[in-house]
Amino acid sequence: MERLSEVTFDSLEGKISEETMKAIKSMGFKKMTEIQAMAIPPLLEGNDIVASAKTGSGKTLAFLIPAIELLYKKNFTPERGTGVIIISPTRELSLQTYGVLTELLEHHNFTHGLIMGGASRQAEKESLVKGVNIIVATPGRLLDHLQNTALFLHKNLKCLVIDEADRLLDIGFEREMDSIIRILSKKRQTLLFSATLTKKTKDLVTVAMQKQPLYIGIQEEEKATVDGLKQGYVVCPSEKRFLLLFTFLKKNKTKKVMVFFSSCMSVKFHNELLNYIDLPVKCIHGKQKQNVRTVTFKDFCQAKSGILLCTDVAARGLDIPQVDWIVQYDPPDEPKEYIHRVGRTARGENQNGHALLFLRPEELGFLRYLKHAKVPLQEYDFSWQKIANVQKQLRNWLQQITFCKCQPEKLSKDMSEHINHIT
């Protein structure tokens, strides 16, 4: 019997359309990941599935290929409206999924569209009225159209894909998902993908599935993160955190690095400060306009090197090519968020990456939770004598915000704390 890790896309010859196979080859895919090898065959047979897999396991192709083939076999046309709906938790993940979908549909004639907040609702409405066969959507905007776009033809729906289900529920889309599922046709195939199967996720499975699903998941074995990922932490007092971060980023400025912060304010603060002291960085966070986030995300994806500061809005599902380092300047609230963050690197087969977690001495207890979650970390040593001296540049920058500092009401609590740490 062929091992799952050795299954190739050529094994689908005769089982999927020539159009899809041609697209897969032009995209450069040869070997399937384990989740693809486990999920695609039963999905092609029409089964409902609940799939649990590590972040970066290749699940996007695992659900897109069978969804496209379902419409192909049914000779779906724009006049029949929407046949597949893919629900994603964030706009960025929707854009990412839509990009892969577009490549897979290169040789097909199916209409496809992106439905999400921040885009033109009127333009979406006009497309839906004409007939969009495959939709990638965020829950809020999708529900809006289901309830208010009268000529949105979805009664012929054949497949519903719920991607990053645990993240959807974490963000707070429980009510929207319940409403969407109640509105949509019950005569459909349902696919649910999730990094973790929480109680809320299991409740969603009960609501969404019309028949008993197959449960598919990669064996976690002894670790919760992929093998190609080297992970470590550094213990650093508050007053030295920024200097250590600056030194690390300066040393790795020719690499591709993502740095996670706990708040939008912290991202904005460090973005302004690092750019001021001649370390070019980009940032992405939830308070930005959607078009700004989209441009920044695409630029970072296409770059061979660069530094992206972000909040957890960018942490789930995004396939950013060849990220060398994931730096967590602020530790997450729980181990599963750590796992989702580091999932941005060492993605796919035979890929490698590094992860660095900053911890204050009083935060060392977090390591116990990571160990319990089967996340192996080793302590990294840094030479404190080699920490960069940017005190003069920091003083110059701080002088520019003296006016704000003299008027505390103009500063948020987060910003005040950041300033106090470097003064």
Q: What phi and psi, each to the nearest 5 degrees, are found at residue 272?
A: -65, -45
Separation CA 138–CA 92 (nearest Å): 10
Separation CA 303–CA 295 (nearest Å): 12
- What is the structure's pLDDT at 407? 45
Separation CA 20–CA 18 (nearest Å): 6
- What is the structure's pLDDT at 248? 92
- What is the structure's pLDDT at 301? 86
Q: Yes or no: say if 65 and 86 are a contact pair by the CB < 8 Å rule.
A: no
Total-model pTM: 0.67
- What is the structure's pLDDT at 409? 43
The amino acid at residue 130 is K
- What is the structure's pLDDT at 3? 57
Query: pLDDT tens for residues 262-295?
Result: 888 999 989 988 998 889 999 988 788 878 888 8
Query: pLDDT tens for residues 108-128?
Result: 999 999 999 888 999 999 999
- What is the structure's pLDDT at 354? 87
- What is the structure's pLDDT at 1? 39
Which residues are bridge partners to 284 per DSSP?
310
- What is the structure's pLDDT at 380? 84
Which residues are bridge partners to 84 per DSSP?
134, 159
pLDDT in tens, the chain (423 residues): 355 567 899 999 999 999 999 999 999 999 999 899 999 999 999 999 999 866 667 889 999 999 999 999 999 999 999 999 999 998 888 998 999 999 999 999 999 999 998 889 999 999 999 999 999 999 999 999 999 999 999 999 999 999 999 889 988 899 999 999 999 999 999 999 988 788 888 899 999 998 899 999 744 444 555 556 788 899 988 888 888 999 999 999 999 999 999 888 999 989 988 998 889 999 988 788 878 888 888 899 889 999 999 987 655 556 677 788 989 999 887 777 777 777 766 455 546 788 899 999 998 888 888 887 778 788 887 776 677 666 666 666 566 655 444 444 444 444 455 555 554
Separation CA 186–CA 155 (nearest Å): 9
Report the chain's C-alpha Rg in angstroms: 23
- What is the structure's pLDDT at 136? 98
